[in-house]
């Protein structure tokens, strides 16, 4: 073991001197996490998804009810509502590209509704903002359906002949306050929900981890290419100490980089990595998995360049499938299932589980999956490396 640690210490000093490991393992993921969070953070954060304009040209009770409904949606943070004095001003803002869509309550709408006559809400939208247009149309349709339900209730009462006007008012009020029998409600996720800063910090950290750990294991191929491997094998040390020392280099580089990134992104971006003890165990598990994967590549590759290219292909492919660039959830079912074949997906899943608290318990399935990956792939790497370098 002493010989293996000496090899590891020597390799670590070399990597720190040329700064390649520092740039690839810390600087690159930290910069990209900052950029992605700044550019895409609002896309799936807590910010409003759109701004919808509103014009009340009616001034009646129905329009006031619609305004209250929009205010309630705005308070929930789903959309922002911007009021305009008239439809012309709204249209001008949309034509100038400052707004995607807006809803206009035309004059006389309340009177027509109370008289039981057809009435129409207007949706003004830009062709360049189909999402905001759909949102505005959905809101207007939902409110129109509610008004139509009230009209049907009143119509049912009036169908019996002469009715007391007070009774009609009571029916209108009751219809407006009655909860629908069937609703579509959100299912709040208790775990696996990461805020943008944490998501991009973690995703970039694990993505570059698979590039970083190659510096240690690939040292075997470099030693062989430079002719120094024969000298190591001739030294009075166990031959297994050579690949072990290289693997330890990869493991320590990855573990150090993840720790530094967790601290840095917490301080600079406000990322929330969860319980420190559970996070440390998770870091060990995913680093072992990454080292094992690179070990397999080094075992089968013949040249340093070939191994580096293969690691890059595998790392990028697994990163994309594993959800390091975008969350893999609620989309393609096949892709979602395929993501669980990658350590990246289990790492991101475990971090999401840590947001719910509870220490090691919630992330036990992810730890088990990473352990299986490390044992299976690492076992294969050991067998091949032993035959080739042992």
Summarised one tens digit per residue, pLDDT across range 323-354 is 888 776 555 677 778 888 899 999 999 998 88
Residue ranges per domain, the chain? 2-43+195-389, 51-177
What is the average pLDDT across 155-170?
A: 56
Architecture of domain 51-177: 3-Layer(aba) Sandwich (3.40)
CA 308 to CA 310: how far, in whole Å? Answer: 5
Q: What is the DSSP letter of 180?
A: P
In this predicted structure, what is the pLDDT of residue 180?
Answer: 47
Percent of the chain whose pLDDT exceeds 90: 22
End-to-end CA distance of the chain: 16
Greater confidence (161 vs 264) lies with 264
In this prediction, residue 183 carries a pLDDT of 43
CA distance 359 to 171: 54
Query: How many other β-carbons are positioned within 10 Å of the β-carbon of residue 40?
Result: 15
**C-alpha span between 160 and 163 (Å, rounded):** 8
Query: Global pTM?
Result: 0.64
In this predicted model, which residue has the larger pLDDT, 308 or 77? 308
pLDDT band at 280 (very low <50, low <70, confident <90, very high): very high
Residue 19 — left, alpha, or beta (φ > 0 → left; ψ -120 to 50 → alpha)? left
User: Within 10 A of 372 (CB to CB), how many other CB atoms are there?
Assistant: 12
Q: What is the pLDDT of residue 163?
A: 52
Instruction: Answer left, alpha or beta for residue 124, where phi above 0 means left and psi between -120 and 50 means alpha.
Output: beta
pLDDT tier, 298 (very low <50, low <70, confident <90, very high otherwise): confident
Asked whether the predicted pLDDT for residue 227 surpasses 70, the reply is: no
**What digits encode the pLDDT tens for the residues 36-94?**
888 776 555 555 567 899 999 998 888 888 888 888 888 876 688 889 999 999 999 98
Report percent pLDDT > 70 for the chain.
76
* Stretch 199-210: mean pLDDT: 92
Whether residue 57 contacts residue 102, with contact meaning beta carbons closer than 8 Å, is answered with: no
DSSP state, 42?
Answer: G
- Reported as a single tens digit per residue, the pLDDT across 238-257 is 666 777 778 888 889 999 99
Angle of helix 343-354 relative to helix 360-389, nearest 10 degrees, comes to 160
- pLDDT of 263 above 70: yes
Contact 287/209 with Cβ under 8 angstroms?
yes
Mean pLDDT of the chain: 79
pLDDT in tens, 86-133: 999 999 998 888 888 999 999 988 888 777 778 888 999 888 888 888
Q: For the residues of 13-41, what is the DSSP string, one character each?
A: HHHHHH-HHHIIIIIHHHHHHHHHHHHHG
60: buried, middle or exposed (CB in 10 Å: 19+, 13-18, 0-12)?
A: middle
Which residues are within 8 A (CB) of 175 and not within 5 positions of it... i.e. 6 or more apart?
149, 150, 153, 154
Mean pLDDT confidence for 298-312 = 80
- Asked if pLDDT for residue 167 goes beyond 60, the answer is no
Angle of CA points 286, 288, 290, to nearest 5°:
70
2-37 pLDDT, tens digit each: 777 777 787 778 777 777 888 888 899 999 999 888
pLDDT at 290: 92
Asked if 77 and 100 touch (Cβ cutoff 8 Å), the reply is no
């Amino acid at each position: 073991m002493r010989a293996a640690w000496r090899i590891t210490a020597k390799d670590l000093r070399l990597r720190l001197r040329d700064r390649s490991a520092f740039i690839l393992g810390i600087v690159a993921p930290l910069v990209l996490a900052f950029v992605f969070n700044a550019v895409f953070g609002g896309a799936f954060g807590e910010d409003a998804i759109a701004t919808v304009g509103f014009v009340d040209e009616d001034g009646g009770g129905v329009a006031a009810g619609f305004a209250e409904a929009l205010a309630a949606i705005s308070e929930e943070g789903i959309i922002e509502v911007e009021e305009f004095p008239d439809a012309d001003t709204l249209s001008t803002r949309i034509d100038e590209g400052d707004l995607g869509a807006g809803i206009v309550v035309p004059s006389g709408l309340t009177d027509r509704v109370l008289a039981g006559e057809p009435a129409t809400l207007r949706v003004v939208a830009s062709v360049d903002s189909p999402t905001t247009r759909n949102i505005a149309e959905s809101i207007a349709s939902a409110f129109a359906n509610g008004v139509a339900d009230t009209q049907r209730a009143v119509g049912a009462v009036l169908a019996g002949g002469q009715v007391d006007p007070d009774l009609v008012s009571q029916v209108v009020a009751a219809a407006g306050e009655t909860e629908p029998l069937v609703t579509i409600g959100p299912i709040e996720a208790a775990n696996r929900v990461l805020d943008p800063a944490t998501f991009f910090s973690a995703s970039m950290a694990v993505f570059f981890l698979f590039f970083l750990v190659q510096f240690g294991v690939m040292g075997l191929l470099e030693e062989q290419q430079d002719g120094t491997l024969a000298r190591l094998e001739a030294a009075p040390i166990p031959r297994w100490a050579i690949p072990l020392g290289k693997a330890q280099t990869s493991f320590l580089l990855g573990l150090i980089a993840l720790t530094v990134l967790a601290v840095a992104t917490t301080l600079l971006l406000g990322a929330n990595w969860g319980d420190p003890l559970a996070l440390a165990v998770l870091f060990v598990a995913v680093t072992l998995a990454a080292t094992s994967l690179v070990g397999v590549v080094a075992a089968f590759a013949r040249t340093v360049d070939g191994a580096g290219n293969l690691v890059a292909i595998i790392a990028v492919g697994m990163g994309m499938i594993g959800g390091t660039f975008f969350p893999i959830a609620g989309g393609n079912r096949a892709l979602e299932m395929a993501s669980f074949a990658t350590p990246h997906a289990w790492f991101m899943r475990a971090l999401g589980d840590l947001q719910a608290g509870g220490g090691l318990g919630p992330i036990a399935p992810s730890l088990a999956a990473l352990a299986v990956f490390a044992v299976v792939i690492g076992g294969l790497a050991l067998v091949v490396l032993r035959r080739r370098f042992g």
